[in-house]
Chains A and B, each alone.
Chain A
Amino acid sequence: MAEPSYIELLGYGGPNGWGDDLLWGAWETVQVAACAYAVGIVLGLIGAGAKLAGRRAAFVLSDIYTTVVRSVPELLLIIYIFYRAPVALQALARALGSDSTIDLDPFLAAVAALGFIVGAYTTEVFRGAILAVPSGQMDAAKAIGMSWWLRTRRILLPQMLRYAIPGLGNIWLGTTKEAALVSVVSLNELMNAGKQAAGGTKDYFFFYSIVALCYLVITIASMAVIARLERWSNRGVRRV
């Protein structure tokens, strides 16, 4: 049998065409990263709030959270959370009184694991961003009688966004790369698609390079979007 050409190997469908598997894998990867990022943002807001609320217990909890995620390798965290999250959620459900068996499919478990990690980093970003908003503004808003919710919604969050976007952008870039690690718990994502293609054809160098290229494309596209967002968020701000 003639050696399939590289173009054929990347083709769509067919016995030798791994292109569609790789594309599907890339799509799965982006999905996992995006969902985990969303979860991370929610966790980050909660974590930053806990650190800034002034209550010692909340601060300590949030501090333990960020320290653990900062010191323990992502791979270990992903493995642990992926296999233990269903059990933990089960216990949570029990505590809340429900009796159903919560069943996390691999995608959600991976999202939970990755989101947990992202949340620690976004906590720090949000904390710094919130602190960077001049406190005088919140004081003035309090003085004219705005409620906490109104103050946060209309004064704090929009301004905090401007400081948070660079950090959040970096975290997104990191998330897309950490998504490669969920291949260890066998999700159907890009890295695993590459492994199958490489294992099937024994052309390791070629296929892993293609996988790297895919990630690079995702990174470059993300960088462009982030630059756009940064410019948008800084509109109207006087350049020093």
Chain B
Amino acid sequence: MKKHVIGGIVAGALLALASLSAQAQDAIKFGVADEPYPPFASKDASGKWVGFEMDLMDAVCAEMKAKCELVPVAWEGIIPALQAKKIDVIWASMLITEKRKQIIDFSDKYYDTPHMFIGPKSVKVDTCPETGICKDWMKGKVIGVQISTAHANYAKKAFGDVAEVRTYDKQDNVNADLVAGRVDIVLADAVAMDYFLKTDEGKDFEKKGFAPNDPLYGAGVGAGVRKEDATLKENLNAAIKAVRTNGTYKQINDKYFNFDAYGTTPAS
């Protein structure tokens, strides 16, 4: 008997907890990738999320006059999390691509940075304009990318038939395997890679080239929302625009970078 009673209490408690969490609907849940991605988003020593994207998020929320809650979610599952309403906005350096637009909607872009290859200083790499790095050089090499990113898609499209494209769940692990010598070259966001190259670990590596503006790459980084959340998207767009025009964007931008993160890909 005790088992039944206890079992009943447990089940009841779980359902109660579930519905209790349903009450806290006022805050907009911003989903961030649960991994360090400096300088855009990472946890500092005290466990607080800091970075360019975090400051921008605070500014946008202030503009929207809404209460915002930060929810870290595994990058691979961030879109299912949005669909399951675990989060309301994806604010995780997600590129606006056609593929993604088929299932979710995006706000206007809030930054746009180029895509860079990095590799060991000691290895010479040939660059070609069509694909960034020459396909001939890529033969038999291992390219490290993060899974479910436009970088992964581009790498597979451009080099999938000659090189091994190895996907990792976190960008951190890609970098770790680059250092360990398991991958020959890495394709990722230029700014994030720049940050990595300046760290102790990245000192033996350098930029090798840029990926061209392939249509796979879409048009900059935006906030992901569910297709039915049109008002949320409007509010986000308005807030982003406001932040751009009233100078807050520039303030945050200059705190982290000496170039305009909103811009477009560089010439070289």
Chains A and B directly touch (beta carbon < 8 Å): yes
Identify the A interface with B (CB < 8 A). Answer: 15, 35, 38-39, 41-42, 45, 79, 82-87, 89, 100-106, 108-109, 111, 153-154, 157, 184-186, 192, 196, 199, 202
A-B contact pairs, 5 of them (CB 8 A): A103-B24, A103-B86, A104-B86, A153-B1, A186-B74
Alpha-carbon separation in the docked complex, A45 to B2 (Å): 13
Given A39-B10, A42-B7, A199-B176, A83 and B80 touching (CB < 8 A)?
yes
In the complex, the chain B residue whose C-beta lies closest to that of A200 is B36
On chain B, the residues within 8 Å of A38 by CB distance are 6-7, 10
Q: How distant is B146 from chain A, measured CB to nearest CB, in Å?
A: 14
On chain A, the residues within 8 Å of B45 by CB distance are 15
Given A42-B7, A45-B3, A79-B77, A86 and B86 touching (CB < 8 A)?
yes
Q: List 17 additional contacts besides A185-B77, A186-B73; criterion CB under 8 Å.
A: A35-B14, A38-B10, A39-B10, A41-B7, A89-B18, A100-B22, A101-B22, A102-B18, A103-B21, A103-B86, A104-B84, A105-B21, A106-B86, A153-B4, A184-B74, A186-B72, A202-B176
On chain B, the residues within 8 Å of A104 by CB distance are 18, 21, 84, 86
Q: Are B19 and A100 in contact (CB under 8 A)?
A: yes
Q: Are B81 and A83 in contact (CB under 8 A)?
A: yes
Cβ contacts B115-146/A at 8 Å (1 or 0 each)? 00000000000000000000000000000000
Alpha-carbon separation in the docked complex, A80 to B34 (Å): 18
Q: How distant is A148 from chain B, measured CB to nearest CB, in Å?
A: 12
Which of B72, B74, B201: most chain A CB closer than 10 A?
B74
Alpha-carbon separation in the docked complex, A169 to B19 (Å): 32
On chain A, the residues within 8 Å of B34 by CB distance are 186, 192
Q: Are A199 and B25 in contact (CB under 8 A)?
A: no
On chain B, the residues within 8 Å of A102 by CB distance are 18-19, 22
On chain A, the residues within 8 Å of B22 by CB distance are 100-103
Residue B17 interfacial (CB < 8 Å): yes
On chain B, the residues within 8 Å of A199 by CB distance are 36, 172, 176
Cβ contacts B12-39/A at 8 Å (1 or 0 each)? 0010011101101100000000101000
Q: Are B77 and A83 in contact (CB under 8 A)?
A: yes
Given A83-B80, A100-B19, A42 and B25 touching (CB < 8 A)?
no
Q: Are B74 and A111 in contact (CB under 8 A)?
A: no
* Majority DSSP secondary structure for residues of B touching A: helix
The 3 lowest CB-CB distance pairs between A and B, nearest first, are A153-B1, A83-B80, A186-B34
Q: How distant is B234 from chain A, measured CB to nearest CB, in Å?
A: 21
Alpha-carbon separation in the docked complex, A38 to B11 (Å): 9
Q: How distant is A18 from chain B, measured CB to nearest CB, in Å?
A: 10
On chain A, the residues within 8 Å of B74 by CB distance are 184-186
Q: Are B201 and A202 in contact (CB under 8 A)?
A: yes
On chain A, the residues within 8 Å of B80 by CB distance are 83-84
In the complex, the chain A residue whose C-beta lies closest to that of B77 is A83
Alpha-carbon separation in the docked complex, A202 to B175 (Å): 11
On chain B, the residues within 8 Å of A185 by CB distance are 74, 77
Q: Are A86 and B25 in contact (CB under 8 A)?
A: no
User: Which residues of B184-203 have CB atoms within 8 Å of chain A's CB atoms?
Assistant: 201
Q: Are A101 and B25 in contact (CB under 8 A)?
A: yes
Alpha-carbon separation in the docked complex, A156 to B6 (Å): 17
On chain A, the residues within 8 Å of B157 by CB distance are none
Q: Are B7 and A82 in contact (CB under 8 A)?
A: no
Residue B85 interfacial (CB < 8 Å): yes
